[in-house]
Amino acid sequence: MKIDKNQLLRFTTAGSVDDGKSTLIGRLLFDSKSIFEDQLAAVENSSKQKGIDGVDLAMFTDGLKDEREQGITIDVAYRYFTTPKRKFIIADTPGHIQYTRNMVTGASTANAAVVLIDARHGVIEQTKRHTFIASLLNIPHIIVCINKMDLVDYSEETFNSIVEQFEEFSSKLLIKDVRYIPISALNGDNVVNRSEHMSWFQGSPMLHELETLHISSDINKVDARFPVQTVLRPQRKGYEDYRGYAGRIASGIYRVGDEVSVLPSGFNSKIKTINAGEKEVEEAFAPMSVAMTLQDDIDISRGDMIVKVNNQPELSQEFDVMLCWLNNSPVKPRTKYTIMHTSNEQKAVIKDVVYKMDVNTFKRNEEDKDLKMNDIARVKLKTSHRLMLDSYRDNRNTGSIILVDESTKETVAAGMIV
Amino acid sequence: MSTYYLNYLEELESEAIFILREVWAQFQNPVILFSGGKDSILVTHLAKKAFHPAKIPFALMHVDTGHNFPEAIQFRDDIVEKLGVNLIVGSVQKSIDDGRVAEEKGKNATRNALQITTLLDTIEEHKIDCAIGGGRRDEEKARAKERFFSHRDEFGQWDPKNQRPELWNLLNGKYFEGEHFRAFPISNWTEMDVWNYLTKENIEIPSLYLAHEREVVKRNGSWIPNSEYLVLEPNEEIVKKKIRFRTLGDITITGGIESDADTMEKIVEEVSTMRETERGNRSDDKRSETAMEDRKKDGYF
Ligand SMILES: Nc1nc2c(ncn2[C@@H]2O[C@H](COP(=O)(O)OP(=O)(O)OP(=O)(O)O)[C@@H](O)[C@H]2O)c(=O)[nH]1
Ligand SMILES: [Mg+2]
């Protein structure tokens, strides 16, 4: 079971509307020979109907009727492809501000983001918003593709000046690894194959970068956290006393015999068995789905967390989160939302808006307290019971929350624990 | 400690088990939509793992078009017996007899779209609040847009332009009375992944997926199997070919491919060189550019 690298890379596209995200993914799939003949024929046919000669590459991901009619992406499309080096899950997300919630959906599980910029327009507000969201989501790698180079005569100066613009604003953000590539998604320059028009560019084409990105730190292997999803009580002969705690390990490593603490109650015990499916195993690690039994009879239910005695999350009812508001209807003061955190669910209220972020200037606005769709703000939350918390920077799985409005049942906000 | 990684099949397996357990925890009365095809067999197998040593806590639900591959029905009954789970059958024939739907007319008539009414009626009748499907995002362009937890309104409709955001692994399965959810635990699997996994885990599948001599007729570019429902056109003739099926749907519209792949290993090999998608042979998807999206909006699988 032990291998020395992640085989699966999940990446997302980002950037403003019409900067060429879907075209780029279409080009990537096409040039890497990941398009099937019937898919190609169907897209050729639809392109012809729209009066486009050749293929509209964006149609490989823009699959909804409305998307094709309007020529924009509305919701995330997931695409899959494999090269001899790696397996990829692509989330092609919309650039339109109205659909930012779908961009966040696609980006929330990504290990890398490909940010597109139209070479004619340079860095604009939506570029900054998406890059800011990517940095909030702690996406470790960002590949900035300066696209439509064919429309600016493949100019090195244009490329350099956009790189400078990007560096200037992104230096204020926490992004670990940024690379820049001049491309033409439409014509395929520097996507899979090296461009013949930009010999001045020394770097590699995009696919090569994606194949060789070193993704090591996306899962926390140190802090063991096991949120209990459900308790298995088989009504079966031979298993009368079996009580298995089922869940997916959020982070860290567990071994039979480990001394563990059950939160929030705080009772201690030792791990008796670990099951991965039908197999009994000696050790298990994130992101495995397992079922554990403990040596002592403790009352444990969904929402509890099994951790190591010597490494525990913070238990708290009041904490700060960076919140992205995703719903059309703004925050209603004093409303009790349902907060979902790991497998736990409680009530929560927004006690205070500490500041709102201006995504254009990255200035903090401490006066404006109204949260509307697409706003990003630091807020103070208070929950009905204690949650087992880690900061999002340390742990994506135990540092993230969503808020649900019970009057509509909709997910209205995404939050990252500070 | 940097050697603790899963290979991608294990990662997909773990994700699917997580989703199946989440369905069980969040819903009152979930079922697995079971067609007898490889994807629903895979989902059922994953459910077995997810709840071991307990039994699978879901009933299997089959929407029976009446136009079945006999092997698929046999397979269904065997698996139900082996797992000791309940089987719920929604019958399209009954929907027709009750006047809920009318049979399509004409040469390319199928019962494909009629399944929607039967599916939604059965969901309502049994008060099912979540139907777990074997749909995969790589199958089709509208399916590529699906969430893991996909909301259906009280009319069973999907609103692809207004889906709930779905962040990280936090799945919101909340609904109002009369609404329901579809859950797709193998969303991120490709056809290749499915075959690799079925092979690795030695999972039994209906023999229809393996190449055998079969009676078929060439129609719209694919090989349609001979069955009691087949009405021959004047210029058509039944021939014997070594055929296997990449997907199993309604027997009247599911085309097979010529193949020598008569073992799992050979299928894996063949699928890896395939130039057409598996649904390329299904006339239900070929009807129009948005055939799948339109059906899904109405409540289809
Ligand atoms: N000349 C030129 N045009 C391009 C290039 N890349 C994309 N385009 C065109 O730009 C337009 C928008 O492309 P899309 O791929 O749909 O843009 P998008 O970023 O996916 O847009 P949204 O998803 O709606 O945010 C289309 O007309 C493309 O043909 C390029 O490299 N050169
Ligand atoms: Mg797009």
- pLDDT, tens digit, for every residue of A275-327? 999 999 999 999 999 999 999 999 999 999 999 999 999 999 999 999 999 99
Mean pLDDT of all residues in A202-227: 89
B143 with B232, same domain? Answer: no
Structure token pair of residue B62:
């089959």
**Superfamily, domain A225-308:** Translation factors (2.40.30.10)
Give residue A405's pLDDT.
96
Residue B97: inside a domain, yes or no? yes
Judged by CB atoms closer than 8 Å, whether chains meet at B277 and A275 is answered as no
Give residue B144's pLDDT.
93
The average confidence (pLDDT) of chain B is 89
CA max distance for chain B: 69
pLDDT classification of B229: cutoffs 50, 70, 90: confident
B190 with B212, same domain? Answer: no
Q: Residue A330: count other Cβ atoms within 10 Å of its Cβ.
A: 13
Give residue A54's pLDDT.
83
Structure token pair of residue A346:
């409680």
Mean pLDDT of all residues in A252-280: 96
The average confidence (pLDDT) of chain A is 93
Residues of chain A with Cβ-Cβ distance to B170 below 8 Å are 340-341, 400-402
Q: Helix, strand, or coil here: A327?
A: coil
B177 with B210, same domain? Answer: no
% residues pLDDT > 90 (chain B)? 57
Residues of chain B with Cβ-Cβ distance to A64 below 8 Å are 141-142, 145, 160-161, 290, 293
CB A374 within 8 A of CB A100: yes
Question: Among all residues of chain A, which has the CA nearest to that of B47?
Answer: A277
pLDDT surpassing 90 at residue B294: no
Mean pLDDT of all residues in A139-163: 97
Quickly tell me which residue has 């698929």 as its tokens: B72
B293 touches chain A (CB under 8 A): yes
Structure token pair of residue A372:
């509307």
Mean pLDDT of all residues in A74-83: 92
pLDDT surpassing 90 at residue A264: yes
C-alpha B190/C-alpha B194 separation (Å) is: 6
pLDDT surpassing 50 at residue B206: yes
Mean pLDDT of all residues in B272-301: 78
Predicted TM-score of the model (pTM)? 0.93
Q: Is B161 exposed, middle or buried (0-12, 13-18, 19+ CB in 10 A)?
A: middle
Closest C-alpha to A95, from A23, A5, A184, A176: A23
C-alpha A65/C-alpha B294 separation (Å) is: 9
Where, residue-wise, is CATH 3.40.50.300 in chain A?
7-212
Q: How far apart are the first and last CA of chain A?
A: 34
Q: Helix, strand, or coil here: B61?
A: strand
Length of chain A (residues): 418
Q: How far apart are the first and last CA of chain B?
A: 42
Residue B14: inside a domain, yes or no? yes
pLDDT classification of B297: cutoffs 50, 70, 90: confident
B224 with B131, same domain? Answer: no
B222 with B236, same domain? Answer: yes
B89 with B235, same domain? Answer: no
Each residue of A98-127: pLDDT tens digit?
999 999 999 999 999 999 999 999 999 999
B20 with B164, same domain? Answer: yes
Residue B13: inside a domain, yes or no? yes
Give residue B286's pLDDT.
64
Residues of chain B with Cβ-Cβ distance to A400 below 8 Å are 167-168, 170
pLDDT surpassing 50 at residue B1: no
* Secondary structure, 3-state, B175-207: CCCCCEEEECCCCCCCHHHHHHHHHHCCCCCCH
Residues of chain B with Cβ-Cβ distance to A8 below 8 Å are 8, 11
Residue B33: inside a domain, yes or no? yes
We find that the CATH architecture of domain A7-212 is 3-Layer(aba) Sandwich (3.40)
pLDDT surpassing 80 at residue B3: no
Judged by CB atoms closer than 8 Å, whether chains meet at B55 and A234 is answered as yes
List residues bridging with A356 in a β-sheet. A365, A377
Each residue of B144-188: pLDDT tens digit?
999 999 999 999 999 998 899 999 999 999 999 999 999 999 999
Judged by CB atoms closer than 8 Å, whether chains meet at B137 and A101 is answered as no
Residue B2: inside a domain, yes or no? no
- Residues with Cβ–ion distance below 5 A, ligand 2: A 21-22, 73
Nearest CA to ligand 1 atom 2: A148
Q: Residue A86 carries which side chain, given as an amino acid letter?
A: R
C-alpha A206/C-alpha A181 separation (Å) is: 7
B278 with B172, same domain? Answer: no
Angstrom distances, CA of residue A403 to CA of A8, A102, A243, B178? 29, 16, 31, 23
CB B102 within 8 A of CB B125: no
**Which residue among A79, A108, A288 sits closest to B168, beta carbon to beta carbon?**
A108
Q: Is A215 exposed, middle or buried (0-12, 13-18, 19+ CB in 10 A)?
A: middle
B30 with B107, same domain? Answer: yes
Alpha carbon of B149 to ligand 2 centroid (Å): 23
Residues with CB under 6 A from ligand 1: A 17-23, 58, 72-73, 94-96, 147-148, 150-151, 184-186
Residues of chain A with Cβ-Cβ distance to B167 below 8 Å are 104-105, 108, 400, 402, 411, 414
Q: Could you tell me how far CA B165 lies from the centroid of its own chain?
A: 25
Q: Which residue has the higher pLDDT, A23 or A238?
A: A23
CB A143 within 8 A of CB A113: yes
Residue B200: inside a domain, yes or no? no
We find that the CATH architecture of domain A314-417 is Beta Barrel (2.40)
B177 touches chain A (CB under 8 A): no
Which of A170-179, A378-387, B267-276 is the most confident on average? A378-387
Give residue B283's pLDDT.
61
Mean pLDDT of all residues in B73-83: 94
* Type and span of the H or E element at A125: helix A125-136
Each residue of B12-54: pLDDT tens digit?
999 999 999 999 999 999 999 998 889 999 999 999 999 999 9
Give residue B273's pLDDT.
85
For chain B, how many structural domains are there in total?
Answer: 2
Give residue B2's pLDDT.
46
B155 with B293, same domain? Answer: yes
- Ligand 1 atom at shortest distance from the alpha carbon of A58: 15
Give residue B285's pLDDT.
64
Where, residue-wise, is CATH 2.40.30.10 in chain A?
225-308, 314-417
* Low-confidence winner among A382-391, B58-67, B181-190 (lowest mean pLDDT): B58-67
B114 with B69, same domain? Answer: yes
Judged by CB atoms closer than 8 Å, whether chains meet at A277 and B168 is answered as no
Q: Residue A376: count other Cβ atoms within 10 Å of its Cβ.
A: 20
Give residue B197's pLDDT.
96
How large is the C-alpha radius of gyration of chain B?
19
Please, which residues have CB within 8 angstroms of residue A203's CB and are 6 or more apart in sequence?
A179, A180, A181, A209
Give residue A5's pLDDT.
58
B49 with B139, same domain? Answer: yes
Judged by CB atoms closer than 8 Å, whether chains meet at B53 and A244 is answered as yes
**Boundaries of domain holding B212:** 205-285
Q: Could you tell me how far CA B90 lies from the centroid of its own chain?
A: 15
CB B166 within 8 A of CB B149: yes
Mean pLDDT of all residues in A161-183: 93
* Low-confidence winner among A85-94, A138-147, A353-362, B90-99 (lowest mean pLDDT): B90-99
Give residue A401's pLDDT.
98
Specify the CATH number for the domain of residue B164: 3.40.50.620
